[in-house]
Chain A
């Protein structure tokens, strides 16, 4: 309401530029000099200079309104000189008297109304008409004068809630909650919600939220299961899983009935498998089987604790779970099968996981690796390409995989570009250097290749592929003895994984090259 103001006399709303209140006629601007800056205190009429009493409104001599400076009757000078003048004076007196009576009545009415008005209701009225400024200012004025009025504070908090000014809403809800009156519990829950609304942008509110809950859950609401549950969740949100588990136990003991998955997650995130198993057992004894999402969480927990067989059994036979959980379960199982080298089994799982979680770079990357291992090279290239383009997690590794595939396909220029891209994406590893070297070698640039291999070995002196590639390069350049020395070094390292590193074949190669010398 930047274009309006209140009348100092009647309190009514008037335009900013108005000089007179439209409702009570009171002056809104400083009266011009001579027109009476304080009309109720003038001693002479500004028109006829007739002495007037303080509190007169009309000049009984000339009929000028002492408040406005305007004449409400013709000047007495225009009447007949004697009889007319007295008639007019009498009439003026009567009019003045009447006016005075009316004014007195008006003032009395105004005072009565002022004394009887309801600012809270008024504010509510403004609020309902979505006049939030008046609603808030009215209520704030009221609260300023009546700081103990909790209901007004609660209402003002609601106004802020409605206005989506959650920080202010939180502060007032928290204030009300801490006062411990009848609205304290509602105020607490609304304070939690208000903090939740802004916690992502203003993380201090997460702490405030947890602090408020912690204070009140320990005192006034110590036996309130729902409040305990909220505290547990808030603690979990802050990553304090140990306290979350303890409070969750308290919430359950206080009669909270959370979704199955919440206690399971509380135990799982604190890595307390025995507590989790006890909970599951209790649920079974109580005759209520865990829902599928909770089972999935329990399965993943078991997996994390190394019970992979029972976890796979659980996760593979889950009834219908929510899409979000399903995506993670499939990703988890897919990763497991990938780890076991069962790429055929992993592919459909990871395809589903990627479909359900297209934003999950881990799922996309694992899916791309799986495609590569299933010899679906073109599909793998597309998938790696997308990761590289996104330039997010795994982009560097995806670029390097792409470089390797393209190199094997003979597309050496693009392979070299991808190897450089991997480095630019922050992947400065021995593997990156070795693959880059291999691409140089295939491009016929043996000098750069050798440099890249040696750089790889300087990064990691036990990176076997770099020894192999360097050895082969040197042999191809007829530096056979030096090359064989590199291959010998490779064979030593290859003992860690003789099959994967083709130790037998390389050993045979070395033996045959020596034999051929």
Chain B
């Protein structure tokens, strides 16, 4: 976006500075010329340009400032500008003509048609008047195609320009004398337009059929072309066409790290951040010493991490900061932010665990409540459900699953509490007998009371008996009559 604005700004500045109308033919005339030339080349020369008609027409529809931005030398030296463009397009031609190439052909067609238009060198006022009048008299059916010629130099084009402007005096005179366009210009119009059509078709044909190696086109120019092509595609939003075209571009020129950075910036400005970072990373591979690339990548990952953090995606944010640090270890904020995110993750995990615990407790209470209710113990069930509600109130909205769980459970609890309350009033008898429980303790206590003493006495009686038996046994002989 930055580069595009730069082009537009420069073009506008040039226009204002020169204040010279640089273009002939009106818009309709230009479209007719370019379209007719396209049809001629496509039909007669079997060049498949029809599918690119919209791109060609888009090129032909460029405004004068944009044309001048595209061809900086156009006003000062149109022939050279055309020649350079032809050389560039010849050099940039690949196995397949892509959309941007067609766009450039369209733009070139517009320039060439202007150059080969009558009144190009005439008084600007009369020239404008002439082109306006011609605009309403254009009849595509009256155009006459001529056989294709190859323009190997600009002298032929210069001749065509001179031929087109050969009747300028007559037309100027007609306008000056008040006869205007209809005097002679209208009669020449079909021929003049046909000339423009043919010259445009010839120029295109010359470009696409040229076998010459264009040694005067530098890598920088090609890189500039490619950058403009990428800009075109990005503006079009046509990533599929871009991907198709860039295979050709990679063969055309070496993608330097600087070009990659420029492309990365282009994509970044266009909001195509992933593509942008891909370009930066490739650039960094080629020039690892470039600190600005490192910073760009680091910043990219850091920015991505911040965005993830804004969305609450803590793991993504952590990974982003870690990536930023891996690329750019001296990133001014990434390490601090990474530590903060780690702390946030710990807090979140702890909170998550706490929520799950609360939900589990709430579920358990609800389950117990259902058990109690199944035994018609509705008050206990309600108390348990209220405990469940209390547990649920600890669960916040931070985690969607847990939040949904809580909302569902709260709704169920409320419903069941209302039901149980209703049942409670009609079933108070369920509490009958519930207070006898502690009596069991009393019974046990009573039955256990004095057990120690009874045991000891029993032991004593047993031991006493044993002792008497022992004594009796020992006295057996004494008690016998034999002893006397």
Contacts and interface: CB of A to CB of B under 8 A. Distances in A.
Interface of A: 124, 127-128, 151, 154-155, 158, 161-162, 186, 189-190, 192-193, 196, 229-230, 233, 236-237, 258-259, 261-262, 265, 268-269, 293, 296-297, 300-301, 303-304, 324-325, 328-329, 331-332, 335-336, 338-339, 362, 365-366, 369, 372-373, 394, 397, 401, 404, 407-408, 431, 434-435, 438, 441-442, 464-465, 468-469, 472, 475-476, 490, 494, 497, 500-502, 504-506, 508-509, 512-513, 516
B41 interface: no
A236 B424 contact: no
Contacts of A297: 456, 459
Interface string B437-471: 11111011111100111111111111110111001
B390 interface: no
B468 to A, nearest CB: 5
B455 A408 contact: no
B187 interface: no
B96 to A, nearest CB: 83
Given A468-B434, A468-B435, A504-B383, A476 B475 contact: no
A500 B461 CA distance: 40
Contacts of A401: 443
Contacts of B443: 369, 397, 401
A190 B478 contact: yes
Nearest to A468: B435
B432 A300 contact: no
Contacts of B402: none
A127 B435 contact: no
Interface string B401-428: 0000000000000000000010011001
B382 A236 contact: no
Contacts of B459: 261, 265, 293, 296-297, 324-325, 328
A173 to B, nearest CB: 10
A124 B475 CA distance: 19
Size bin of chain B's contact surface? 35 or more
Nearest to A449: B432
A480 to B, nearest CB: 10
A331 B451 contact: yes
Given A161-B479, A500-B438, A509-B431, A366 B444 contact: yes
B447 A335 contact: yes
Contacts of A189: 471, 475, 478
Given A190-B475, A475-B428, A508-B379, A407 B454 contact: no
A338 B448 contact: yes
A502 B435 contact: yes
B428 A509 contact: yes
B110 interface: no
Interface string B371-387: 00000010110110000
Contact of B463 (A259, A372, A394, A505): A259
B447 A365 contact: yes
B455 A328 contact: yes
Contacts, number: 181
Contacts of B19: none
Contacts of A331: 451, 455
Contacts of B453: 269, 304
B379 A505 contact: yes
B16 to A, nearest CB: 86
Contact of B438 (A193, A265, A476, A497): A497
Interface of B: 377, 379-380, 382-383, 421, 424-425, 428-429, 431-441, 443-448, 451-464, 466-468, 471-472, 475, 478-481, 484
A369 to B, nearest CB: 6
Nearest to B458: A328
Contacts of B458: 324, 328
Nearest to A161: B479
A259 B448 CA distance: 28
Nearest to B453: A304
Contact of B478 (A186, A335, A369, A404): A186
A233 B468 CA distance: 10
B433 A237 contact: no
B433 A233 contact: no
B435 A339 contact: no
A512 B421 contact: yes
B436 A369 contact: no
Contact of A193 (B434, B448, B451, B472): B472
A407 B383 CA distance: 27
Return the 10 tightest CB-CB contacts between A and B, nearest first: A465-B435, A335-B448, A304-B452, A500-B438, A328-B455, A505-B379, A468-B435, A509-B379, A508-B379, A338-B444
Given A189-B471, A335-B444, A435-B436, A513 B481 contact: no
Contact of A124 (B429, B460, B484): B484
A500 B437 CA distance: 6
Contacts of A236: 460, 464
A494 B434 CA distance: 12
A472 B464 contact: no
A36 to B, nearest CB: 45
B456 A339 contact: no
Contacts of B463: 259, 261-262, 265
A438 B432 contact: yes
